[in-house]
Each structure stands twice: as structure tokens, then as C-alpha cells.
Structure 1
Amino acid sequence: MNHNKLFSIIFSATAVCLPIAANGTAIGHDTVTETDFKTKEAYTGDSLATAWLNAQTGLTPEERDAIKFLYAYMPLADGNGYAPEFFLANVRSSLRAAEEMPWGKTVPHREFRHFVLPVRVNNESLDLSRPVFYKELKDRVKGMSMEDAILEVNHWCHEKATYQPSDARTSSPLSTVSQAIGRCGEESTFTVAALRAVGIPARQVYTPRWAHTDDNHAWVEAWANGKWYFIGACEPEPILNLAWFNSPASRGMLMNTKVFGRYDGPEEVLERKPTTTIINVTENYAPTRTVEVVVKDINGNPVENATVNFSLYNYAEFYPVAVKKSGHNGHASLKGGIGDFIIWASDGKNFGIVKAGGSDTNVQEIILDKASDWTGTLEFDITPPAASASLTSPTPEQRRLNDLLTAREDSIRMAYVVTFATPESASALAKSLGTDEGKTKEVLIQSRGNHSGISKFLTNIPADQRDKALRLLLAVSEKDRRDISAEVLTDHLATPETESPLFDRYIMNPRIENEPLTAYKAFFRSKIPQEDAQRYRSNPKEWVSWCRDNIAADTVWNQPGIPMSPEAVWNLRMADSRSLGIFFVASARSMGIASRIDPVTGKTQYADENGNWNDVKFTDETLSPSSPKGRLNLSFAPFGRTVDPKYYSQFTLSKIENGLPRLLEYEESDTYKSITGRGPELDEGRYVLITGQRMADGGVLARADFFNITAGTTTERPLKIRQDSTEIQVIGSFNSENMYHDLETGTDKSLLSTTGRGYYIVGLIQPNHEPTAHNLNDISATAAEFEKRGNKMILLFADENEARRFDRGRFPSLPANVVFGTDINSTNLNEITTNLNLTTSERPIFIVADTFNRVVFVSQGYTIGLGETLTDILHRID
């Protein structure tokens, strides 16, 4: 069947609105869900859910309908990765909450189906957190209004977890609790799961990328009595609709949420797929306008079905925050913030680019005038929206109580964290097991709440397997060590050893991309006969052919964002492109073939007997060798303090495929020197080198250089970063999450916890030191201005001995917003010296930075008038 045609048929029907009884319970038969359920089974050829339902005689009508809803709209990764009993347990917990919670009968059918019932929030591993969370929370929120219950659930979440950045894999809610940490995507997934557990509709909101700074953010919206409210996940505030990101969100260009199922709410639909509806919630946070474009060919004719990327400059690329298709008249539109979009459109071969300014009201015309051989340079001055947040302030009593609660929650969480493995306990285990002490300490300390499971695993395996087990644990990611199971470890530890130098990383290692880990090696050994595996090892191209001929491509029911397990792909014989790549690598490693998904290009690859990587081309029946390659030589002329531009911060490289850019994902630590030093080989084709200078107000001076790479030759290109000396510029990065020892409280804490959100000053100073004294006297002279502005200034000594030697009485007029501390292990000094390319670590050093980790000013050594300079910088930023 034509899958695209089927997709059109599926979604041509108008969604049915069920009548709602007085108690909020749906009545009548959901014919749309029933139709979609049957259509999905017919498409996939998988009738597991129907067979299971037919075998169940004890299900209530509500349970049966809920199971059908979940199976109708869950991705293939879920339907074939978890047993029906798993979903039934979650359904029963949801129905129990609806029955027992005081607001359960007030939640409308639509909100319950889409924002309470689904187990999945985004792309996390699924678990049975719902009944666990319900048991912990039901009495805690008993007797509260829905609004107060939302606040209370968030306090409970803060008690369990706090922010820490990590890789892109999203931990399950129970894993986040076990680890006691999570990045914003995990904190928000966890908080949504907790709210849904007590029957409160909740959804995760994402800004795919900010316009005024790099990075993105995720938070939570919760429904109460007919309205959606927002909260910062695991960051409790005294009232709803208050969070540190109020101001950044008011500068947002696009904020969206993913809804599982055929959703018919009032929000603008950005994209509708068989399993999900992506909706636009930007208007909840920022002023908006509708950006309209018309895509035309070089003859002026409208182009239908062109891909239109509404992009923002972020991490030095034009990142598409929304992707639309042009209609029959070439028209596409997006409701977004009051800032500049870079709009890139393509018909699959030719492309065109325009800037849609925040003040533009006319329809933008995009001419697809750049053919496959076009080269040239484009420059854009990009302006983000201005901040426009209007905050509702809590009362002083609300703020005082919230501060007391969050302090108590911190202590509860820390009481749990101190039960994790310590260097001493890890060393003791290493001695008792006879394992390498350094490796054992690294594994156990990084495992956090999973330390007991890993300790038990290492203890229970034979002594001669423990060294290999440590190699396995060091091959997976740090986050994996926090939640990897003994089942998965045991499975992959059994991988037959080879002498290949690639064995640990590319054969034994279960980690392929950012997928959930499974015990797939024994599975494939049971499915692929030994003699066949030997043949595939001798000639991996034969396994490529098998995958191409036996696994059907699916672009409808499983989106690449939620990868199917390798076992599910084998059983269903159907996969999206990402899951197919993961399947190939998993099955190849199970047969002893070194394989990977290349982290830079995203290509699926296997290694030959000489250790050379070969591209896997599932759509190429000739199974041709890897693409011809040429070399790129970038040249850069240093300016100011910029001597080695950073990838993602100041430049990126993308290959243009089918008229659209595909980012080359080098390591975050890569720079101009590290990349050019390797003399990178690139596939033949067309590329775009994007550079940008982020200004202090969030604007960007961007440059896009288009060129070709020809096989067997070296292409020379200059790496040019535009400059504007009249504006304050971002000159480097500094982690606002760094720790310091606060001398007033006697505790170790993060800079961010003291500064709050926004710009702040850090000074690295010395006692009884003339240059430091000059700086402090200058700052004292402008104390009134510093106090008026309120920006925190943290002054750090090297250690407590230095602090004791400092005579505070010599500087009685320092601003009241100065905080004194010590620099733990010189972390802040070392980072500033390295990131800002300072030639020495001589103090005093002062920086002006913000909590998006941008540095806009640095001063080192003896200076006069520092106080005036700092206040001027802060004034100009405003």
C-alpha cells in the first residue's frame, strides 16, 4: 500500500468529540480511535494488541477503551517493546487516580485522554513510575485545590531531583529519582509523570532553541479548572506561572508541545502525524506574529510540497524550530515570536534562503535559485525579540514559606545522595574483589543511585570476568552507569572476546546512539544460526543485503525520535531509518562485527579487517563502497582574544543533502585547531560553513559560506567571523553551575544559586595585594550604582587561608550585593583562564557573565577605574 496515501486517508476525517457526562467521564463509542487502532494494525501487520484484548475477559469497558487508545497512537517502539500488561497496570493506576482524586471527575475527556492517560511524555524509557508516584503523592495532595496540588507535586519533585546537565538520552522518571539529578528534559518528563500520576493533566513544553542565546529549555504546563499553567520542573515557586525563564520565554520564537493521539484542542497545530500532534503554545509566553512565505521556482511559479525550515541561529547553525510543507500555491506560514527567522526552503534539489525580520508584515518570497552547484556567501544581521515578561509576584510570606520548603527539600535529597558510593567505599570494594581501584571508583561514584546494583553485579560474576566487566562499564556512557541493569550487563559481558582493538567500544559495548539499552546479544545469537553469522562476519555486505531486503522502511507509525529496540525491529520487520541503523549495529555486534553509527555524519558503518570504516547504504542495491572523499582546509586569522574558535559556539559545518543542511556533529570540545589538525576527510558534495558572533543583546552577526568538496582534492576556505566593535560581544563561556564555598553560610553551593538568573560578576582576588586593592577601591567608589542595579558580585579567594588573611575593614564601602567565598580546587580560575585564552592565571581577574554561560567582559591584573567599567558594561547590556 502507498503509505503516504494511507496517511492522507487516515487524517482526512474530522475528529469526533465525545459527549461528556456531568462527572467528566466519556460516554459513547470513540469511533475515531477504533478506526485508527484497526488501521495501524493493518499497516503493520501486527495484531498483538487485538489478540491480547480478545483473550482478556476481566477488563472493564473503560480499561478496554483506554488500552485501545494507547495502542492506536503509541509509536511502534512502545507497542513492540513493552508487554500489554505493562500498559494495563498504568491504565488502572490512571483510572484509580481519576476515581479517588477530588478533581478526577472534573477533568474533561479530551484532557484526560491526551494529558493523563499516556505513559510516554517524550522520548524517555518507559517505566511503572505511575503507581509508585501515586502511592507517595495521593495523601500529600489530599484536600488541596488543583492549583495547590500542582505546586505541591513540584515541591515533591524538587525533593527527589535537581538539575545537572548530561547527554541527550532521556532517563525514565524512576531513573531520575534514583539518580537524584536530571537535565531539564528529564526533570520535566519526571514532573509531568508525577502530575499525571495523581490525575492532573500535564504536558512538557519545549523551546527547541532560544533566539537570544544558545541552548534550549523544557518545562511543564499543568491543567487546573479549565486553564493551563506553567511551572519550572523541580524548581518550585510559591505561585503558578512563575519561573526563572519568564523573561527568556518572553523572548522566545517558538514553544511547542507533543501530544499523543489525534488532538483537537484550540492551539495551532504545527504538525500532525498518525501517533502525535505537535501544537504551538508560543502565545502563552511571548508576543507573536504570523510569518508567511511563498516558495517559487526561478521562473516565478509557486512550488508545491517544498520543505520550509523556519530556523533560528543557535549553536552556530540555522536550526529548524519548525518544518512546514508549502501548499499548492507555494504558501507556508508559522505563528512565532517577534524576532528574525532564517527561512530555508527546498524542493529536494534547489534551495533558497531569506531572513524574515521581526517587524516584517509582508509575505516573504523565497526563490529556489540555488542549484546543486551554487557557491557563494550570505550574511545576516539577526535580531532576537526583546524581553517583555510581566511577572506576578508572590507575597513576602509566600516567598518565605517557599524558601523554607525548598531548603528542607534540599536537605532531604542530600540525605539520600550521601548514601551513594564514596571513594572510600569504592576502594574497599575494589580491594575485596581484586579489581582495579581507579576504575572501580570511577564506575561506582558515577553510578550514583545505581551503585548497589553495579556492586552486586561485580560481586556475583566470576573473578576472571571482573576486569572485562569494568571495561564494559567504562565503554558505556556515564549516564548509562547510573541506570544500566544487571540483565543488560550480563548479556553484553558474554560477548566472545576478540583481539580487535575495536572490541570494547564497537563490539562488546551495548551503547550505539541514545537509545534505551536492551539485552540484545543473546537474542540475536538465538535468531541467527552460527554458520550464517560466520558468513556475515566474513562478508558484512551480505548482512547489509539481508537488512535491506527484509526490513521494511516505515515513516508513518514510528518517528525517529523514539527508536525501536533491535529486538522489536527483528520481530516486526519494519523500522524507521534511525531504528534500522541501530538494528544493523546491534545485530552486527552480536555476530562479532565491529560497527557503529558515526557520531559526526550519522552514517551507519562497519569496520573491515583492517579497521577501516565502510558506509552502510540500505537503499543502494549495488552496495557500492563508501562515498568518495576530499579534504577541507580551513584558515583563520586570530582577532582580539579569539585565537581558536569553538565548534558550536562560533562555527559549524553542514553537508547539504536534498537541498537541506545536515549538521556534522563534531565533539563539543572540538575547535578550529582540533578539526583542522585532523585534516578532515569529507564526503564529496556541497557544504555550508556557518559562523556567527553573538552580541551581548542576543543578536548575531552571521555568515554562511557555501562551497563544494571534490573527491581527491583539498578545498581551501577561510573561517571568517564577523565583528562589530561598537557592541558588547560574547567573548567566551563560563559555567554558572560551578561550585564555590560560601564564607557567610559555610556551605558549598553553585554560583547560580547565589546570583539568580541574569548577569553577574565574578572576581578572583588576593588578600594584601595592591592590584586587588585598587579594584576593590574602585568598586567601593561606585557602590551605590552596584546596589541600585542589584547584580550579584562574587569575590573568590583561592582558599580559606587567603580569606582569613583578608582585612574586610579596609574596604568598608563595598556594595551590599558582594558575596565572599573561596574557589574550590581553583575550578573557576582554571575555567576562566582556559576559556578566555588568558596567558597567565595572575589575579585579580574579573568577568561579567550571565546564567546562560556567556562572558561579555574580562579584566585581568592591575587596572584603574574598574568600578566604572563594570557598571558601564551592565548599563550597556540593559
Structure 2
Amino acid sequence: MKRLISLAIAAIIISLVSCKKDNVQHFITDEAYRSQVENDFETRKELAQGRSTELFSVFDEKLSLEETEALKFLYAYMPYSDLADYDGEFFLNQVKYAFKARDFFSWGKSVPEDIFRHFVLVYRVNNENLDTARMFIFNEIKDRIKDMSMYDAALEVNHWCHEKVCYRASDARTSAPLASIRTSFGRCGEESTFTVTALRAVGIPARQCYTPRWAHTDDNHAWVEVWVDGKWYFLGACEPDAKLDMGWFAAPSTRCMMVHSNAFGKYKGDEEINFRGELFAKINMLPNYTDTKKITVTVTDESGNLVENAKVKFKLYNYAEYYPISSGETDSEGKASLTTGLGDLLIWASKDGKYDYAKIDVRESDAITLKLNRISGAEYEEDFDIVPPAGKPVTTNVTPDEADKNNKRLAFEDSIRNAYLKTFPTDDEIAKLTNENLTAEQIHEIVKKSEGNYKEIIAFTDAHAEKNENLFLYDFIKSLSDKDLRDCEAVTLNQHIMEYDGKYPVEVFKKGILPARIEVEMIRPWRQFLSENLGKILGTNPSYSAILEWTKANIQTDTEGNYFNCPISPRGVFELRHADSRSRDIFFVAACRSLNIPAYLDNATRQIFVYDDNDWQIVAMEDAKPAAKTGKLVLKYNGTKELKPQYWTHYTIAKFEDGDFTTFDYEDDPRVAQFPVELELEEGYYMLSTGNRYSDGEVLSHLEFFNIKQGETMEREVKIRPLVQREKEFYGFISSDSQIEADGKTIKLNDLAKDKPLVLCFIDPNREPTKHTLKEFGAMRETYENWGGNILMVVPQEKLTEPFSAAKWNLPKQTIVTTDSNGLMDKILRDTKQQYNDNPPLIFIIDSNGKITFRSDGYRIGTAELIYKSIIG
């Protein structure tokens, strides 16, 4: 009997222990951290009470303790965009599948709790639209990698990503991972978002790395860091290499001034933290890539007293502006610091309207003092010479056999993706589509641009195929971005399109009411919802001022709550009642349109316009901001005819606000398409920034400060400092027998360079750096055709993984395309005793004597322009 009782007690104990293991196991084992999360969750819950049912009813379900704590962690620190636009079931599924991957794969148990919490569980990577990619990817590839090591699985996931997505430039909005799959391409930010999502889906910790701006060239770049067996490695997203810690960006990253990543929640890792907020931390990962130095900025007032809480921005020249790669505030000793690369920065400090700035050469100094003695209004000009870090060589330990095997895999993966692309509608299939509101040419354009989203777009146009004079179908579609056509659903577009009612002039209707797009946000349904809900509050025919006052009174804004900078939908703003200023402005425009008041947002100046009293009026959203008074700025260019200055490439305009200058975004804006440029701008203090970059990355920067007054015209010249003619570097001579097979015949390079220098490019058309360069040659086609010299594009045989043609990239007509079937690249490198780390494009300029006068290899924005500058001297 005693034995039976003992066995019964033992069974009960085992049952209780088992129950504890299954249902009472903490996700967050650190009691203090768990308590902090609980407190932050309650704060967030109160903030989001406008969506209480949608977000928090999920806790009424039967959840394990782990699931509950994981959900609370996500809710405690997620940005406003996620609180506003998604529901509890979405986040619960993210939690369940994160745990499912942890328990399924052998490496799951090896991932530390904090690494899992911040870099596996978290569903968001950047500012992408969220979707169910985690679930899809887990089920898609779990059996493919389940028996691999963690290291090999990380590589294999990237190969799978490459089967689905390759690089192609696109606009600033970040597509959701599944949208990238459907389209089959994405820019680097989308490729890395997709790849991080894929790695996390299979329980491998990953994070997006980001250099906010390159130092040696324009633009930026994003890649991936993956945690494997206790160590962080890097990889090129959707660009698989034979091993980790490889990528075309490895060498350029040694010239960076900053590499960082956002860590969701209260992160306590070992990395240096550039910014630590209540919701996230910004991690400084630059020491992983290059030599660094910690610099300290001291800020004083005019009397030399230390200034606390002054804003300090560490700015880097890029795209003709000084972009803040990091920001902070001074401490009680008036100091702010940053670990950065060994190049030049412009340090900017401000407080209470006063400011100061100065250049620091980090190679030579680790400290700088700024005195807040400047105020807006002074008109003057100033030059800076900005020198980037020199960088350092990188090495890889991949054998030729490993590289060859990887190249063959890449070719096979390209074939998989290309087979998918062939499922898109053909020209003949599109020609069969009819629509009485669209021409055949318009139908072809729309369907082609929709890429893998063609079914949704065809469904939308088919729903409006009958002739309707008041339905401006093509105008509506033209107001969408190309990316909208690639990821918008038909049901969403159907909820937005409307007939013209004649209340306003047609062009006002097309500009201020018809478009579903306001800025670069993901288009979601909002018209009917806002019309009904705001109509109940403000009546059916309110004035724009009534909408404005309601918005100011009811939508609270702050700078950190929506820290991933993903725009909140107008409906989400209404329900949450919290937003960043950008999302609030989008909401206001949407609210006006929903209530039949024309409105739009000028994406260059961030000004809001509404149509009132038969004219467009500027709306002042901030309470302290008076109604806008405007003047005219006229920009002229009187420099060399060989250079036509482009906005963002050669010059920018910025307005002084709150102690610093904010750059206007006139990208692809017809207002700056040609000189003279005429702009209607608010009265205020402005800066015109220009720059000219040498081939080694050094920039000759020019700044001009001036005022614009109401009703007056200010004329300014865009001054591009000329590059000083330096002694051309000498890279050796090609041998007289250097030749190549092209168009079925043998061509000597000396013959191609006989009359004018030859531009010789060894390219990999499947890699991002080459694609940038090809696009630039296409953009400068007319310039190169007028020059008339030969351009030879040589594709190494093993890199030719899909058909490549000059016509595809709109290259200059004199371009010759061929493969390197006889080892020309190796011969030139051998004859000239040059080193090359397989970092295409490798570009030479060769004169009539066979002398190599220019070399460029690897990633560099503006390569085509640099080549042309070198040719014309």
C-alpha cells in the first residue's frame, strides 16, 4: 500500500513538473528584465486603448506563459505603425512560429535567450509592410535545411533567397518579403529585409546592417549579419557566396564612417550603442568592419560655459548634402562622443536656435569644440575638402573549386527565377486584354509594370472596363508608383477609385482628390472609413480648417514612437490617435480627400496644400508656425557645358529649422529638370550645397547661405568647384597582342583605342555594383554617343548566367558586348602586374598608346560620370 501511495505521489510530482515545463516556463528568465517588460507593456496598452480589442483580445485565448511573455515583449516596444495597422492574431502567429522554429531545428537550443528575443522573435526588420512571410518561409525550406549545421543552413537560406529575389533599384518604400518574392527583385534594403526575415523564420538570429551613407561614393547600402554558433558573420543578401564573411561590399565597408543596426526593445548586448531609447537601441557595428576612433565633441556657449542637452549631429557628405550618420545630445559636461571611421566629418551642434559647425579630420584628431555663437540670417559662402577613409585590403579563403561550385549554383538559381518570370503575361497575352477606358498601349504599360502582381492589376482594370467619361482610370493608375502596381490588391484600389463629380476643376480633382497615394506609404483602404467616422464628428461638409483643428487636438505626435519610420495608415492614425508628424500629415491629406476637399503633400518641401477659395493654400500644421509667406528662388548654372548639374548628385537646397538645415527632396521632380530652376519657397534662411567628387572619393564641397523674403526673387548660381587636374595615375600598358573575340571576329584593343580612348569594362551583370554602373551608362547615353569613343563590356564566361545585351540597359550605341572567352582580364592583370580581388566591375581607360590611365573596381556610385571626367580631362 505504501508503495502504491509513493508511486502515486511520484506520478503527481512528475505531472506537476511536466506541466510547469510545458506551461509555466518563462520566456524571459531574468526577473528584473521581465518586470521591466511588464511595466512597459502596461504603458503601451494604455497608449493603444483606441485599438484595445484588435490588439489585446488575443490574451483571452489559451496561451502558454512563454507565448504571453513573448507577446508582451513585442507589444511593449513595437512602433506605432504596428500598433495601428495589425492585430493580435498576426503577432501571436509570429510568436508561435518563432518558437516552432526554435524547437524544430537542432540549433534552436544553442541560441541564447537575449539573442533569440531581439534577433529571431522580432517580426520587423526595417520599415517594410508586414506580412506572413515567416510562416511561408518556415514551411517552404524547413526540410531542405533541417539536417544541416547552423553555418551551412545560413548559407543555404541565402541561396534560397537568391532563387526568389535579385537586385534591382526601386523607390524608397520597402516592400514586404512576400511582395519581393512575387516581384522577384528588390533594392538592397528589400533584399536584406527579405533575407533577415528568412533567416529568422528558421530560427537563425539575423539583423540588417546599414551604412547610412558611404564616405567614398554617393548612396548607402544594407546587408545582413547572421549569428552562427556564438559569432556574428556578414553576408550579402540574396547574393550567396561560398562562405560567410564574404560579399562585394567587404572592401567598400572598410571605408565606412558608420555601420549600424536597430535593436528592438531594451537591448543589453556588448556592442557600442549610438542611441538608446525607451523602445529601441541603435547599435554601432563599424568596429566589425574597419579601423575606428572615438571622437568627442565639446559644446560651449558664447562665454565658454559647457552646454548640456545640445543636439550634436555627426554629418557625412553624400548626395550633395551633409547627412547625419549619427545624432545625440551633450551630457552634463557638454560632451557627446561617437566611434567612427578614419575620414572627415562635419560636426553640427545646436540649442535654442543657436548653432555652430566645423570639420574634423578623424585621422588627425579625436576631439573638437564647438561654440554656439551662430544664428540664422548671415549670408556667406564656405568651402570644405572632404576626404574619406583610405580603407584596407580584404582577403578570402575560398578555393577556386569552391568559387566555381558557387558560381554554378548561382547560375542554376538564376534559371529558377527566370523560369518564374516567364509565367508573367506575354505581349501577345496582354494584347488580348480590352478596356474601354484605356488604350492598348496603356494596358500594356500597366500590366508590364505590375510584374508578378498582374492578376490583381488585371482584376482591377477589368472591374472598370466599361466606358465611363467621368472615370479617369488611367490618371488614377498613373498617380500610383510602379511599386504600388507590384503589390497593391484589387480590392484596395477598388475602394479608392471614384468618379469625377464636377465640383472642382478637373485638374484639381486629379491632383487633390483622385489619387490613393499621398507620400511613399503603403496604400491601404481609408476613404470610406474616414468619410464615415470623421463625418460623424465634423459633419458631412466640414471646412479644411475644421479637419485641421480636429487633427491638432486629437492626434498626439512624438519623434520616437514610430521609430522604424514606416508610415502609419490614415485609418491607423485615426484609431490609435498617436503618430509621428509624417504620418499625421498623411492622415490630414487623406482626411481632406475623404471629405471631398482637394489636398496634397509636396514631397520635396513637406508642405501641405489644400484647395480653398479657388486656389491652393499652404496649411501650417504646427501650432507655432504662422501661415506661409513665400518668395522665389532662381538657380542658374554658368559652368562647363560638359556637366549638367543634377539635384542630389551635384547640388541640394536646405531650409533652416530648429538649429539645423533640412534638405528638400526634389528627386525626379520636374521643377528641377533644367536650368534656370525656379522654386516658390517659404520665407526663411537657406543653404545651397554643391559638391564635385574625385575618383578616389574626395569631395570639393561648396556651401552658400542666403535668405528668401516674402514677395522677392533671390537669384543664386549653382557653383560646382572644378576638380584640380592631378597627375594621372599610371597602371601600365596593355600588350600589343591584347585582343578579344566579338561579333564573330577578332578585335585588337589597340584598334579600338586608335582614335579615342577605349573604356574597357569587365562586369558581372548579376551583381548590384555592375547594375548601378550599367544604369549610369544608360543615363549618360547621349553624352557618351556625342563623345564617340568605344566602350567594351566584357562578361567573364562563368558570370554570364542570363542573357545580357546593351539594348536591355539602353547603353550607348557604340558599346560592344562580349564574353571573356580567351582570358583577356587575366592577361591584362598579369601584364601590368596589378592585383584584383574579384570585385566587379573592373574598368580601365586605355589610350591610343595602350597606356592604362584610369582604373576603377568595385562599388562606386557615379562611375560613368567619373570615367567621362577622366576622358575629357
Interval of TM-score (by shorter of Structure 1 and Structure 2):
0.7 to 0.9
Q: Conserved in 2, the CA contact under 8 Å of 1:440 and 1:470? A: no
Change (3 A) 1:826 1:339: closer
**TM-fit CA distance, 1:360:** 2.7
Is there any run of 5+ residues in structure 1 with no aligned partner, and where? 1-22, 731-741, 747-764, 784-790, 799-810, 833-849
Q: How many Å separate the matches in 1 of 2:71 and 2:60?
A: 12
Counterpart mapping for 1:530-609 below 5 A:
532=538, 534-536=540-542, 539-559=543-563, 561-609=565-613
What residue is the counterpart of 1:449 in the other structure? 452
Q: 2:490 aligns with which of 478, 486, 496?
A: 486
In structure 1, what is the equivalent of residue 521 of structure 2? Answer: 515
Instruction: Find the aligned partners of 2:278 and 2:235 in 1 and give their Cα distance.
Output: 29
- Per the TM alignment, residue 700 of structure 1 is displaced from its structure 2 partner at its CA by 0.6
Deviation for aligned residue 1:867: 3.8
Alignment counterpart, residue 865 of structure 1, candidates 849, 860, 872: 849
Alignment of 1:728-739 (within 5 A): none
1:583 & 1:177 partners in 2: Cα distance?
30
1:158 to 2:142 alignment: no
After superposition, the Cα gap between the structure-2 partners of 1:773 and 1:665, relative to the gap in structure 1 and judged at 3 Å, is closer
Deviations 1:666-713 (A, max 9, x none): 124669772534x21221111111111101110111111111111122
1:306 match: 310
User: What displacement does 1:233 show?
Assistant: 0.2
The worse-fitting range, judged by mean Cα deviation, of 325-334 and 50-59 is 50-59
Partner of 2:383: 379
Deviation digits for residues 776-809 of structure 1 (CA, Å, limit 9, x no counterpart): 99999xx9xxxxxxx9999xx99xxxxxxxxxxx
Cα deviation per residue 1:589-640 (whole Å; 9 max; x = unaligned)?
A: 11122212212111222122534242232425xx853x11122233432236
CA shift in 2, pair 1:60/1:530, >3 Å = closer
1:697 and 2:696 aligned: yes
Residue identity in the other structure for 1:708: N
Counterpart residue identity of residue 639, structure 1: T
Alpha-carbon distance in 2 for matches of 1:392, 1:77: 41
Q: Is the 8 A contact 1:775 1:867 kept in 2?
A: no
* 8 Å Cα contact 2:101-2:203 kept in structure 1: yes
Q: Which residue does the alignment assign to 1:527?
A: 533
Q: Residues 641 and 675 (structure 1 numbering): CA distance in 2 closer, same or farther, change over 3 Å?
A: closer
Counterpart secondary structure, 1:381? strand
Residue 92 of structure 1 deviates from its aligned partner by 0.8
Q: Distance in 1 between matches of 2:438 and 2:183?
A: 25
Which amino acid letter does the alignment assign opposite residue 415 of structure 1? A
Partner of 2:440: 437
Aligned to 2:807: 824
Measured at CA, do residues 729 and 664 of structure 1 come closer, stay the same or move farther in structure 2, by a change above 3 Å?
Answer: farther
Please, which of 728, 739, 754 is the counterpart of residue 774 of structure 1?
754
Give the structure 2 partner of residue 633 of structure 1: 634
Instruction: For residues 83-120 of structure 1, give each alpha carbon's deviation from its aligned partner in whole angstroms, at most 9, with x where no partner exists.
Output: 10011111111110000111011111101110001111
Equivalents in 2 of 1:88, 1:778: separation in Å?
Answer: 60
Q: Distance in 2 between matches of 1:71 and 1:266?
A: 24
Match of 2:82 in 1: 78
Per-residue deviation, 1:40: 2.1
Contact 2:654 2:686 in 1 (8 A): yes
Q: Deviations over 1:453-473 (max 9, x none)?
A: 221232344624696444322
- Asked if the contact 1:247/1:389 (under 8 Å) is kept, the reply is yes
* TM-score, normalisation: structure 1: 0.81
Q: 1:10-65: CA deviations, max 9, x gaps?
A: xxxxxxxxxxxxx9975365112111111222345457279835752411111111
| Paired letter, 2:601 | I
Kept in 2, the 8 Å contact 1:560–1:577? The answer is: no
Deviates more, 1:465-474 or 1:563-572: 465-474
Deviation at 1:547, TM superposition (A): 1.2
CA contact (8 A) 1:605 1:616 kept: no
- How far apart in 2 are the matches of 1:25 and 1:545? 45
More deviation, 261-270/49-58: 49-58
Distance in 1 between residues matched to 2:414 and 2:365, nearest whole Å? 49
- Aligned residue in 1 for 2:17: none
Q: Which residue of 1 aligns with 2:106?
A: 102
SS of corresponding position for 2:114: helix
Aligned 8 A contact 2:387 2:697 in 1? yes
**Corresponding residue for 2:210?**
206
Q: Which amino acid aligns with 1:79?
A: L
Matched AA of 1:450: N
Note if contact 1:696-1:729 (Cα within 8 Å) is conserved in structure 2.
Answer: no
User: Which deviates more, 296-305 or 256-265?
Assistant: 296-305
1:458 matched residue in structure 2: 461
Q: Name which of 182, 185, 198 aligns with 1:181.
A: 185
Aligned to 1:657: 657
**Structure 1 residues 340 and 448, CA gap change in structure 2 (3 angstroms):** same
Identity over aligned residues, as a percent? Answer: 37
What is the 5 A alignment of 1:647-796? 647-668=647-668, 674=674, 676-677=676-677, 679-727=678-726, 772=752, 774=754
Task: Quickly say closer, same or farther: Cα 1:515–1:470, change in 2 above 3 A.
Answer: same
1:42-81 equivalence runs, <5 A: 42-45=46-49, 48=52, 52=56, 56-81=60-85
Pair 362,288 (structure 1): closer, same or farther in 2 beyond 3 Å: closer
Aligned-partner Cα distance in 1 for 2:727–2:128: 40
SS of match in other structure, 1:342: strand
Which has the larger displacement, 437-446 or 459-468? 459-468
User: SS state of the match for residue 697, structure 1?
Assistant: coil
Q: Give the corresponding residue for 1:125.
A: 129
Q: Is the 8 A contact 1:560 1:578 kept in 2?
A: no
Is residue 506 of structure 2 the alignment partner of residue 500 of structure 1?
Answer: yes
CA 90–560 in structure 1, closer or farther in 2 if over 3 Å, else same? closer
Per-residue Cα deviation, 1:171-230 (whole angstroms, up to 9, x for no partner): 000000000010000000000000000000000010000000000000000101110010
1:209 touches 1:215 (CA, 8 Å); kept in 2? yes
Q: What SS class does the counterpart of residue 402 from structure 2 fall into?
A: helix
TM-score (norm. length: structure 2): 0.82
SS at match of 1:511: coil
Q: 1:415 to 1:46 in 2, by over 3 A?
A: same
Q: Return the alpha-carbon distance in structure 1 between the equivalents of residues 51 and 568 of structure 2.
A: 18
Residue 381 to residue 473, structure 1, CA distance change in 2 (3 Å): same
Letter aligned with residue 703 of structure 2: A
Could you list the runs of 5+ residues in structure 2 that have no partner in the other structure? Answer: 1-24, 730-739, 763-769, 779-789, 816-836, 857-865
**Is 2:753–2:848's contact at 8 Å kept on the other side of the alignment?**
no
Contact kept in structure 1, 2:343 and 2:388, CA below 8 Å? yes
Displacement, 1:318? 0.4
1:335 equivalent to 2:320? Answer no
CA contact (8 A) 1:547 1:618 kept: no
Q: Deviations over 1:444-494 (max 9, x none)?
A: 100011001221232344624696444322221011000101221111024
Secondary structure class of the residue paired with 1:438: helix
SS at match of 1:229: strand
Q: 1:530 to 1:37 in 2, by over 3 A?
A: closer
Alpha-carbon distance in 1 for matches of 2:210, 2:716: 36
What are the superposed Cα offsets for residues 299-332 of structure 1, whole Å, 9 maximum, x if unpaired? 2111211111101000000000101111122101
Q: Does 1:316 align with 2:317?
A: no
Can you list the C-alpha shifts for 1:355-384, whole angstroms capped at 9, x where unaligned?
110223342011222112222222111110
State how many pairs are aligned: 773
Change in Cα spacing, 1:728 to 1:108, as seen in structure 2 (3 Å) is: farther
Say yes or no: does 1:242 pair with 2:251: no
Find 1:363's aligned residue among 364, 367, 372.
367
Counterparts of 1:169-318 in structure 2 under 5 Å?
A: 169-318=173-322
Matched letter for residue 518 of structure 1: R
- Please give the secondary structure, in 1, of the residue aligned with 2:714: strand
The separation in 1 between residues aligned to 2:795 and 2:429, in whole angstroms, is 43
> In 2 relative to 1, CA 672–123 (structure 1 residues): closer, same or farther, beyond 3 Å?
closer
